[in-house]
Structure 1
């Protein structure tokens, strides 16, 4: 019976060691995973001819213009924007994108945007909205997430301990009864 009890205790220890698994670092330093970084306000406008996607970055909008049907970048177009009372001609960048430098930053809120596109013999007028967030909305506080290194495994460990105690009591009672019958 003692061998059975020793086997149960060893099984419990192996189960606890196996459960520790991933995330159990034995005190070693692990790289922290950064939360998803917030994205800058985005602008998406499309028609049957073009798709214009923009990101508000620093002093203006970084724009990508594609042919709507083929999704091929359009790099030789004239792009002009009207937003918050500003009329801005976007300049072509070396990487095929466009940059629309703004004379003044956009205030917080939702802004209607109108884009005039001239590419070869094709012209189009696109409209959309750009929602400019407050600085706090752009950098939210990190939220706590459950971790295996925390107490997430405690209920399992307690359950295994209860099973071990029950097996020990059962084995001892069985051992006592067996000795009583021999006497």
Structure 2
């Protein structure tokens, strides 16, 4: 009976020791956190009247145009967009929602964005922003099981096997003692 109480604690201890600790190494502990892998480049251009947010996914550009004061979508607006000196054809797909197809994927570095907004015939504004984007580098350790990970996993499995073997041996020995006494 004594082995039943110690088995979970021993397993937890072995598994905890087998897991490699995550640590920052030199040069990785200062500066702002990197955006999540796969995060799409985006920009926001704001004026007193309008707010334009653009999200780029490869060659597709999705634009959200809202009123700055109440964040409501701008109804029936016309949007002209210049991205890095190139005019980009924009199509309205919903209230305050626009899409465009870029001729080529966004280049690394800063790209200026200028948008002319005309809403309701008389309400117009020019918005400007920059997209600062850099292609994601291959993340280290993402190529699969590393040697260290395989060794840690093997050590953890060996430890679990050892604990199970000891527990089963103890049960057999206790059963033999109880069977011999009866």
Q: Which category of TM-score, normalised to the shorter sequence, fits these structures? A: 0.5 to 0.7
In the alignment, does 2:133 pair up with 1:132? yes
Q: 1:181 maps to which residue?
A: none
Q: State the 1:72 CA deviation.
A: 1.1
The equivalences for 1:101-140 within 5 A come to 101-120=101-120, 121-134=122-135, 137=136, 140=139
Q: 2:83 matched to 1:83?
A: yes
Tell me the residue number matched to 1:73.
73
Matched, 1:13 2:14: no
**Deviation beyond 6 Å, 4+ runs, structure 1:** none
Measured after TM superposition, the shift of residue 95 of structure 1 is 6.9
TM-score (norm 1): 0.56
Shift of 1:142: 5.4
Check conservation: 1:65, 1:75, Cα contact below 8 A: no
How big is the shift at 1:88? Answer: 2.3
Distance 1:15 1:101, change over 3 A: closer
Number of residues of Structure 1 aligned to a counterpart in Structure 2: 129
1:63 aligns with 2:57: no
Over 3 Å counting, the alpha-carbon distance change for 1:69 and 1:58 in structure 2 is same
> 2:77 & 2:141 partners in 1: Cα distance?
41
Q: Using the alignment, how far apart are the partners of 1:95 and 1:103 within structure 2?
A: 25
The match for 1:51 is 51
Q: Take 1:85 and 1:14, find their aligned partners in 2: how far apart are those partners?
A: 65
Please state how far the C-alpha of 1:139 moved relative to its aligned partner: 5.6
Q: Alpha-carbon deviations, 1:89-137, whole Å to 9, x = none?
A: 4210147510133334432221111111111121111111112322xx1
Render the CA deviation track for 1:8-64: whole Å, top value 9, x for unaligned: x553225336x48xxxxxxxxxxxxxxx65112111111221111111123342101
Unaligned runs of at least 5 residues, structure 2: 14-35, 164-182
CA distance in 1, matches of 2:43, 2:82: 13
SS in structure 2 at match of 1:72: coil
Task: Give RMSD over aligned pairs.
Answer: 3.5
Secondary structure of 2:103's counterpart equals coil
Larger radius of gyration: 1
Distance 1:73 1:142 in 2: 43
